[in-house]
Structure 1
Amino acid sequence: MPIVTRRRILALLTGAAAAIGVPSIWMSLMKTYDGPTSDHFDGLRFFDPDGVPPKSLAEVLRWQYGGERHRAKWPEWAPSPHSDIPPPRVNGAGVRLSFVGHASWLVQTGGLNILVDPVWSMRASPFSFAGPKRHNDPGIAFEKLPGIDAVLVSHGHYDHLDLATLSKLAATCAPRVITPLGNDVTMRDADAAIRAEAFDWHHRVELGNGIAVTLVPTRHWSARGLFDRNKTLWASFVLETPAGKLYIVCDSGYGDGRHFRRVADAHGPLRLAILPIGAYEPRWFMRDQHMNPEDAVKALADCGAAQALAHHHGTFQLTDEAIDAPAIALGEALDAANVPREKFATLKPGQVFEI
């Protein structure tokens, strides 16, 4: 097979893997979680009792090659006009949130610096030559980061769990890394210096200075290799801060909204929700695992947060919609629901939101 064709196939499969975790042939012998059974772990694989199984390889191929695909062309480079240089610490009752890009955030509050799903790599992929690549720089240059105390990693897909970035953080400031069950094995197998701590759904973890995080169920799944589908867990986070609780949803489908309503019941009132709005086309393929902007507006209503910030868009082209489609559709969905647009803000990398 010509090398161009091989690279094209790798790029397509790697892109699908980053978007929805399609198992891939190059990571077939990964170590995975081994633990007791539960209401969402059968002894071999995790599952969402209220969700649906991930798409099959046949459905992936239908999406990629079925002749019905309409993939928007993104600009080769779409730089943000913003670049943040965070302060060393934020003390007192405030929260400072800096959007790094895609699903990556820096949260500064209560004297702690917390990163969410940090990805500074050029590609969301195991390869340097294939897979989704960045269309803009991170909103904070890595060397401008303050000392990081803790990192929250939601699940194992390549656009959320970036081993190169975690290894670099381990070498520079050695933060705690809080992650759902099994992802700690992936991290430590790559670099023993990564201080990974794995927890189950509903586990509350004290981070210090009165700040804590609880892992909560979310409608998604996980895979990095051929034989590890759903062998690691996925989660969203409820972060307790001096300014109130932040609900951080890094990746999720909407379903019937019960995941969001349950968080409201168990953890409300919520001061802020960070909700994904991108990687949603085509809907027949993506709706069970990724929300579109209309879904995200429903999720905001369900969780009852006073304010929302949008993410998971505009940096890596994982699916078929245009680079600006999520932001445009979000505004339309807010108008249709009679929700003020300022209640659900869309930032560019490098922009800051403060509570």
Structure 2
Amino acid sequence: MNRRKFFKLSFLGALLAGGGLYARQSNASAYYKGPLSDHFDGVRFFNPGGETPGGFLDLMKWRFNGEKATWPDAYPSPFPFVKPGERVNGTDLRVTFVGHASFLIQTAGLNILIDPVWSERTSPFSFAGPKRVNPPGIQFNDLPPIDLVLVTHNHYDHLDMETLHQLHIAHKPHFITPLGNDAIIRTRVQAAKISTGDWGDALSVSPDVKIHFEPCHHWSARGVNDRRMALWAAFVIETPGGKIYHIGDTGFHSGLNYHAAAKKHGPFRLANLPFGAYEPRWFMKGQHQNPAEAVEGMKISGAAYACGHHWGTVQLTDEAIDAPIVALKAALVEQGVAEGRFRPMRPSEVFDVPSV
């Protein structure tokens, strides 16, 4: 491999796999200025008592380990395209899966999109990077009126600038995201209504719906010099029909954040939990939980039902496309959880969540 090609692969691998190259340190945050806290040192956010992401040599060891499974070019959903109804009122709760980590949640008369990605690639480039193997489960023009857009963190498979721009044009939603991500969004959507929050904050979005920002074990970056300069978070959506616990990405972190969420908010009617993109464990365990950990997290948090995501749409890590499903089924049996309680979602799948 020539030097130019090696550099290109190294740059793309670092940027796309985790969000940024492990580059020079900066003494000023690119996105956020605020008081120091137990998870912010004045420049960068961090996971208290947690793991830091692996360094550049670790990244190269992973990228060139030769263990990456080959995904098919297409992995179509068994569910046909769905056109959601305009509203779901009262205590009813309907979840429609768009793909990867993107959800439409309808309840209490509100339409909420979480981590919406309609682009073909989860990448800063239109010509390179992880590419979808199935289309979004809802065609963009079939979306109902969108009231809220929740963005958990700034990695490209969760914060898709072009999608946010198009949503602003079509729907003028209220964007809600952790500290610092507003500065990123405004580079493409200058006039957007954006609210930010720190871990522990809460925001009332209607008389009977509240959004809580809660910790998860992850990190952030968009480019080569902004590592951990914007915060990542889980959301708890408090509704008349019960609470929804949504995590975009997380390492299991000994279950500490699950225990804290259960103590503060639980039990939950629904938890949306990532269970893919977890191999190799030595590199990924601090940022992506595996299926067994996702099931354990569901149990710790006291969730009646779970929607599993972050699998089967874009290949970010080494495991085969169907490996998360196989591992999830085994984990459910081993941990004594009925299979119907933890649904590995496919694009266009609709789940009318039972009352609890």
TM-score in terms of structure 1 length:
0.94
Could you tell me which of 289, 295, 298 is aligned with 1:297?
Answer: 295
- For 1:34, the equivalent position in structure 2 comes to 33
Q: Partner letter of residue 151 of structure 1?
A: V
Displacement of 1:128 in angstroms is 0.7
SS of corresponding position for 2:41: coil
Displacement of 1:10 in angstroms is 4.2
Q: Partner letter of residue 88 of structure 2?
A: V
Q: Partner letter of residue 58 of structure 2?
A: E
Q: Does the alignment pair 1:265 with 2:235?
A: no
Q: 1:16 to 1:277 in 2, by over 3 A?
A: farther
SS of corresponding position for 1:108: strand
In 2, distance between residues paired with 1:217 and 1:252? 9
Q: 1:297 to 1:12 in 2, by over 3 A?
A: farther
Could you tell me which of 169, 174, 197 is aligned with 1:176?
Answer: 174
Cα distance per residue 1:82-116 (max 9 Å; x no partner): 22110011112101100000000000111110000
Spell out the pairing of 1:127-138 with structure 2 (5 A cutoff): 127-138=125-136
Could you tell me which of 319, 328, 341 is aligned with 2:326?
Answer: 328
Q: 1:10 to 1:123 in 2, by over 3 A?
A: farther
In 2, distance between residues paired with 1:290 and 1:125? 18
In 1, distance between residues paired with 2:266 and 2:326? 29
Q: 1:13 to 1:99 in 2, by over 3 A?
A: farther
- For 2:72, the equivalent position in structure 1 comes to 75
Displacement of 1:297 in angstroms is 1.1
SS of corresponding position for 2:318: coil
Q: 1:150 to 1:201 in 2, by over 3 A?
A: same
Could you tell me which of 192, 195, 220 is aligned with 1:194?
Answer: 192
- For 1:309, the equivalent position in structure 2 comes to 307
In 1, distance between residues paired with 2:9 and 2:134? 19
Displacement of 1:11 in angstroms is 5.7
Would the aligned equivalents of 1:94 and 1:242 in 2 still touch at CA under 8 Å? no
In 1, distance between residues paired with 2:160 and 2:166? 10
SS of corresponding position for 1:185: helix
Displacement of 1:122 in angstroms is 0.4
Displacement of 1:209 in angstroms is 4.3
Could you tell me which of 123, 136, 143 is aligned with 2:121?
Answer: 123
Would the aligned equivalents of 2:71 and 2:321 in 1 still touch at CA under 8 Å? yes
TM-score in terms of structure 2 length:
0.94
194-203 vs 235-244, which moves further: 194-203
Would the aligned equivalents of 1:30 and 1:186 in 2 still touch at CA under 8 Å? no
Cα distance per residue 1:18-53 (max 9 Å; x no partner): 44223388xx99942112211111111111113111
In 1, distance between residues paired with 2:111 and 2:49? 34
- For 1:251, the equivalent position in structure 2 comes to 249
In 2, distance between residues paired with 1:292 and 1:221? 17
Cα distance per residue 1:297-354 (max 9 Å; x no partner): 1111111111111000000100010111111110011111121111111121000011
- For 1:280, the equivalent position in structure 2 comes to 278
- For 2:105, the equivalent position in structure 1 comes to 107
Percent identity reads 49
SS of corresponding position for 2:157: coil
Would the aligned equivalents of 1:150 and 1:175 in 2 still touch at CA under 8 Å? yes
Structure 1: where are the runs of 5+ without partners? none
Would the aligned equivalents of 1:24 and 1:225 in 2 still touch at CA under 8 Å? no
Q: Partner letter of residue 221 of structure 1?
A: W
Structure 2: where are the runs of 5+ without partners? none
In 1, distance between residues paired with 2:9 and 2:57? 17
Displacement of 1:81 in angstroms is 2.8
Q: Partner letter of residue 251 of structure 2?
A: G
In 2, distance between residues paired with 1:267 and 1:313? 27
Cα distance per residue 1:48-101 (max 9 Å; x no partner): 113111111111111112xx3311100011111322110011112101100000
SS of corresponding position for 1:300: helix
* RMSD of aligned residue pairs (Cα, Å): 2.0
Would the aligned equivalents of 1:23 and 1:224 in 2 still touch at CA under 8 Å? no
Q: 1:23 to 1:350 in 2, by over 3 A?
A: same
Would the aligned equivalents of 1:278 and 1:293 in 2 still touch at CA under 8 Å? yes
Would the aligned equivalents of 1:16 and 1:318 in 2 still touch at CA under 8 Å? no
Q: 1:30 to 1:230 in 2, by over 3 A?
A: closer
In 2, distance between residues paired with 1:139 and 1:59? 35
Q: 1:21 to 1:235 in 2, by over 3 A?
A: same
Q: 1:202 to 1:236 in 2, by over 3 A?
A: same
In 2, distance between residues paired with 1:140 and 1:276? 20
In 1, distance between residues paired with 2:194 and 2:156? 17
